[in-house]
Amino acid sequence: MYRKPIVTYLRVSTDKQDLESQWMAIDMWAKTNNITIDERIIEEEPASGAEDNRPRFQELWSRVKEGKIGTIVVAELSRLSRRMRTLVNFLYDCFENNVMVVSIREGWLEDAMKNDIVRPIIIAVFGTLYELERKMISERTKAGIARVKAQGKHVGHPFKLSDKEVKIIVKLYREGVPIKRIAERLGVSRATVYRYLKRVGEK
């Protein structure tokens, strides 16, 4: 019934109890259903503003697309992502690649995916949300570019930061300043801050 390999994804904060409670729920489910978990993927909470930049989650997503995972088990769907857009896109890719998603808290999802009548409806709903989100992103991007052009600003590759600005980014990041605040202070996007932090080995 559950395709292998069966992988569980646990997303944790600094609270050790959080990890234990997630694992207890998953372990109880596995024992009740006589299931063996093949792999545990544990990831710590990302820094503020870095919801989609979780390396273990991105690795999990890539394996889903490559068809290297059969079942994903989580304590609750929010462990996968708190952003609806990311969650919808991830679940849609799971459905497209025939990956079963089991959420202990949201048991309705597993029941729906087992039902031959309900399953295509669920997939269709997520597919519609997926396409709608893509269209909205595209429209927002076009509107943003048009607005920038109307203001007479340059649209193209991101500009380069000076060595002094890069040092400021690293200093603030090491002091624990949120990425969003660093970006606002320098007048750049969060993506630019991430790019330079990665370039200097801080990410």
Sheet bearing 39-44, strands edge to edge: 39-44, 6-12, 71-74, 100-103
Among residues 13, 48, 62, 189, which one is catalytic? 13
Residues 102 and 191 in one domain: no
For 181, what's the count of Cα atoms within 13 Å in the CB-facing half-sphere? Answer: 11
- Domain count for the chain, please give it: 2
- For the question of whether the overall pTM of this predicted structure is more than 0.85, the answer is no
Q: Which residues contact 181 (CB under 8 A, 6 or more apart)?
A: 172
13 noted as active-site residue: yes
70 with 168, same domain: the answer is no
- Tell me how crowded residue 95 is: count the other CB atoms within 10 A of its CB: 20
Q: In a structure prediction context, what are the per-residue pLDDT tens digits for the chain, which is 203 residues long?
A: 788 999 999 988 766 667 888 999 999 999 999 999 999 999 887 655 566 778 899 999 999 999 999 999 999 988 888 877 788 888 888 888 989 999 998 888 888 877 778 877 877 777 677 677 667 666 766 676 666 667 665 555 555 778 888 888 888 888 888 888 888 888 888 888 888 888 888 76
Task: Find residue 12's DSSP bridge partners.
Answer: 44
Domain with 19 in it:
6-128
Q: Is 189 within a domain?
A: yes
Q: 67 in the Ramachandran plot: left (φ > 0), alpha (ψ -120 to 50) or beta? A: left
Q: Residue 120: count other Cβ atoms within 10 Å of its Cβ.
A: 12
On whether residue 1 sits in a domain, the answer given is: no
